[in-house]
Chains A and B, each alone.
Chain A
Amino acid sequence: MSAQPGTSTEVKWQKVLYERQPFPDNYVDQRFLEELRKNVHARKYRFWAVVFESGVVVQQLCSVCVFVVIWWYMDEGLLAPHWLLGTGLASSLIGYILFDLIDGGEGRRKSGRTRWADLKSALVFITFTYGFSPILKTLTESVSTDTIYAMSVFMLLGHLVFFDYGANAAIVSSTLSLNMAIFASVCLASRLPRSLHAFIMVTFAIQIFALWPMLQKKLKAHTPCSYVGVTLLFAFSALGGLLSISLVGAVLFALLLVAISCLCPFYLIRLQLFKENIHGPWDEAEIKEDLSRFLN
């Protein structure tokens, strides 16, 4: 501390505090910024890969759209419930067979889930929904229709927000997302004219919100080409359904899909150019070693 910095230039400065040096504590020399690094963890994105990944969002939007369209048809009496039940059962069966065929039964062996358990779950779904459908029918009789609509919109938006799109974030909760979708479907089903309608609507909600995303995930992992095809097909069918109800809605929905699948990836890649993430010795210490073995 006593010596002047000018008189002791031959003494080499060291970045340690445990040795007595002729420099003030906050002194740094020119070598300080040599260790600066930029964009260490930045990833290079390719446009089509990002578009492919955005398929999950498009699929979920389309699911909600298809659900709402089907409900509208049922409410208007344009769609016979038997027909929906038949289609739903047939597609569920096909999906169930596909689910095992895609990875050759490997996922089933890993999870150790038997077909008996699947059958039991299906029976529980159907029995409970069928048993409760008269209650569901009269549940919201005295509540205003607008309240029900507002509640359903809120719940479906919540479903989209909390859905597990594959991102690693705190907000993601697949349980909450599924529960909100079921709540919305129960609310909407209670507006339908008969209890059979309500039963079929809730069954359909389980198929489209719980079972369909599971099949999609498997398709995406094992056969990416067919996944693209299925996504496109699904998107166009949702658009077609919406078009039959309202032209404006269909146009807006198409614009939304295009924006999510094409514009957003493009914008993301453009914004990568402006990324300036600096790293250096001032960063917090990071523990590189895997400590998870100490946890158990």
Chain B
Amino acid sequence: MVSFGDPGMVLKAFFPTCCAAADSGLLVGRWVPEQSSAVVLAVVHFPFIPSQVKEFLAQVQQTSQVGVAVLGTWCHRRQEPEDNLGHFLEGLSAIFSHEPWLQLCREKGSTFWSCKATRWQGSTSPGAPSEDQVMIVFYDQRKVLLSQLHPPAILPDQETGDAAAGAVGLAAVFHTVARSEVLFRSDRFDEGPVRLSHWQSDGVEASILVELAKWASGPICLLLASLLSLVSAVSACWLFKLWPLPFIWSKLSTCEQLRYRLEQLTLIFSPQKAENPSQRMRKANMCVSVLLDVALGLTLLSWLHGKGRIEQLADALVPVADRVAEELQHLLQWLMGAPAGLKMNRALDQVLGRFFLYHIHLWISYIHLMSPFIERIVWHVGLSACLGLTVSLSILSDIIALLTFHIYCFYVYGARLYCLKICGLSSLWRLFRGKKWNVLRQRVDSCSYDLDQLFIGTLLFTILVFLLPTTALYYLVFTLLRLLVITVQGLIHLLVDLINSLPLYALGLRLCRPYRLAAGVKFRVLEQEAGRPLRLLMQINPLSYGRVVHTYRLPRYGCHPTHSWGSLCRKLFFGELIYPWRQREDKQD
């Protein structure tokens, strides 16, 4: 393989493949002295007037901020060797002085290439020109122009090693080609003062629709942006910031999703132009993800509104809630007996069981009170699907949270009771051993207690020890139920996050135009012969799918599991309340 990053050794000439068939002329490009490489951008054909060429190059240099210059001559011998042309080309070096002066020559039959790089200064004997060894690297101008090198931000002054230097060199080549877009703007049918050969588009395709869309997109964007800013101003109104409301909004995933969607739309329709490629890519990703989301949502909507599915759904919802409550009742009755042959304290068992049964009774009455309105609610919720599938999924998650509110209540009661017992037992166990927790020194000290303290402490300790299994069983069962609900909600949120944050546009680009997202390049040897310059073909390595997702993932909304598994188990054991995904349902009723 060619070591790319050793400057000074071999001169590298980057030559566009599309110019291989061009007529003889001048090589126009940029000289990168740090890498000792010449990036050829175009070939200027005969006939030309040198002053016009110079003027044209100065113009290009001014607009593209790239040091474009005449690097040498290009000679394509189609017919018999023309000696006068060779002399003429040599004479050009006096007019366009450049250091080193490249002389690229393609022999008849396209297989033989020769290249000379002449330096007038710095040679051992002044006056006599010295020649460098030259390597020709072919590149596809269009692909290099359109592709974006990853990682994009490499500063040219980073010289940490060979690999870094190679990456910097590549970045310089890519950068040069990308910045000289002005040079390629003229197409085949343009008649300018200077005739150029380079990659050219096949002319601009004019379509009335495209032109109309281009023309209309500005005002439409402006209009939508102002509408969106109006919506966000309304949502920021003080009425919605009265005390309990922000708390409730933060607990409802629907509100979070709507806020996120508003942000997305504001960004998409913002009238400012994206400054760098990553911002442009982000905008495109967002746009595609919103479009896909809305398309999926509309599909869902059409499915829901066909064949009276909404009525079926509404009719099914109440029996399902009833069924859940019934199952819970059976579970409680099982717990009030002797579940799994465990020795429970009968009196406490009965008290807890009746308390929870009464709770379920309340819940069922609430559901039945709600049942006449359920169909209308479902119909309105179904309409929300036109805002996107994610919104309706969030609403589904919120509805699940509301319908399992009794499970949440049971869990909280069980956890509080269990936590109380565990805390009491741990401190009474210290008393039992004649110790106490020293708060100031953060350690266990010995302590002499009074007789009555000891007596009451031990009495309570004994009672708590014998009551612990009953409470722990209730806690265990309700925690498992709660974890089940949380798992379902977590899956829904994962799906929503997936739709929200997957960079679909970037992935599509990677699938259809792999060269657009470049991770690096590879070189293929075309010709290697003694006495002739080494010819290489530069091919673009596409970015892997994992890196694409990693680089272009859109930011997520809301908070995410903050517990590790260890801390989760610890919290469960000590009866602290867990909210693995988000703290919700606190104030919904």
Contact = CB atoms under 8 A, between A and B. Distances in A.
Interface of A: 121, 124-125, 128-129, 132, 135-136, 138-144, 173-176, 178-179, 182-183, 186-187, 202, 206, 210
Given A142-B345, A182-B458, A173 B463 contact: no
B345 A129 contact: no
A179 B454 contact: yes
Q: Which of B343, B452, B456 neighbours the largest number of chain A CB atoms within 10 Å of its CB?
A: B452
B347 interface: yes
B392 to A, nearest CB: 50
A183 B461 contact: yes
B346 interface: yes
B458 A138 contact: no
B579 interface: no
Contacts of A183: 432, 458, 461-462
B358 interface: no
Contacts of B84: none
Interface of B: 338, 343-347, 431-434, 448-452, 454-459, 461-463, 466-467
B434 A139 contact: no
Nearest to B460: A132
A139 B463 contact: yes
Given A121-B451, A173-B433, A132 B459 contact: yes
B452 A125 contact: yes
Contacts of B456: 124, 128
A187 B462 contact: yes
Contact of B459 (A128, A175, A210): A128
Contacts of B458: 178-179, 182-183, 186
A179 B449 CA distance: 11
A175 B345 contact: no
Contact of B454 (A129, A132, A135, A175): A175
Given A173-B433, A179-B432, A138 B452 contact: no
A73 B129 CA distance: 126
Contacts of A141: 345-346
Given A132-B463, A138-B347, A183-B461, A176 B455 contact: no
Given A125-B452, A182-B455, A175 B463 contact: no
A54 B299 CA distance: 93
B451 A139 contact: no
Q: Which of A128, A173, A179 neighbours the largest number of chain B CB atoms within 10 Å of its CB?
A: A179
Nearest to A132: B459
A210 B462 contact: no
23 contacts: A121-B450, A124-B455, A125-B452, A128-B455, A132-B459, A139-B467, A141-B346, A142-B343, A142-B344, A173-B433, A173-B434, A175-B434, A175-B449, A176-B433, A178-B451, A178-B454, A179-B432, A179-B433, A179-B434, A179-B454, A182-B454, A183-B461, A183-B462
Contacts of B463: 132, 135-136, 139
Contacts of A179: 431-434, 454, 457-458, 461
Contact of B466 (A121, A129, A139, A175): A139
A249 B53 CA distance: 125
Nearest to A134: B347
A138 B346 contact: yes
Contacts of A139: 345, 462-463, 466-467
Contacts of B459: 128-129, 132, 182, 186, 202
Given A121-B452, A141-B346, A187-B462, 10 more contacts: A124-B452, A138-B347, A141-B345, A142-B345, A143-B466, A173-B433, A173-B434, A175-B433, A176-B432, A210-B451
Contacts of B454: 175, 178-179, 182
A186 to B, nearest CB: 4
A194 B333 CA distance: 29
- B interface, over-half SS: helix
A204 to B, nearest CB: 13
Nearest to B448: A175
A142 B348 CA distance: 12
A268 B462 CA distance: 40
A206 B454 CA distance: 11
A125 B434 contact: no
Nearest to A135: B463
A183 B432 CA distance: 10
Contacts of A121: 450-452
A136 B467 CA distance: 11
A179 B459 CA distance: 9
A173 B430 CA distance: 13
B432 to A, nearest CB: 5
A124 B460 CA distance: 14
Contacts of A138: 345-347
B341 to A, nearest CB: 11
A129 B450 CA distance: 17
Contacts of B338: 142
A157 B438 CA distance: 30
Contacts of B345: 138-139, 141-142
B286 to A, nearest CB: 62
A125 B455 CA distance: 8
Contacts of B448: 175
B347 A206 contact: no
5 nearest CB pairs, A to B = A175-B434, A142-B343, A182-B458, A186-B462, A179-B458
B343 A143 contact: yes
Contacts of A125: 452, 455
B139 to A, nearest CB: 84
Contact of B434 (A136, A176, A187): A176
B460 to A, nearest CB: 8
Contacts of B344: 142
Contacts of A202: 459
Contacts of A144: 343
Contacts of B449: 175
B464 to A, nearest CB: 10
Nearest to B433: A176
A139 B450 CA distance: 26
Nearest to A182: B458
B350 to A, nearest CB: 11
A144 B466 CA distance: 12
Nearest to A205: B455
Contacts of A136: 463
A178 B453 CA distance: 12
Contacts of B455: 124-125, 128, 182, 206, 210
A190 to B, nearest CB: 8
A164 to B, nearest CB: 11
Contacts of A142: 338, 343-346
A138 B455 CA distance: 20
Nearest to A128: B456
Contacts of A129: 459
Contacts of B450: 121
A178 B461 CA distance: 14
Contacts of B343: 142-144
Nearest to B470: A142
A236 B338 CA distance: 47
Contacts of A128: 455-456, 459
A139 B461 CA distance: 12
A195 to B, nearest CB: 12
A183 B460 CA distance: 10
B131 to A, nearest CB: 83
Q: Which of B449, B450, B451, B463 neighbours the largest number of chain A CB atoms within 10 Å of its CB?
A: B451
A37 to B, nearest CB: 37
A78 to B, nearest CB: 26
Contacts of A178: 451, 454, 458
Contacts of A206: 455
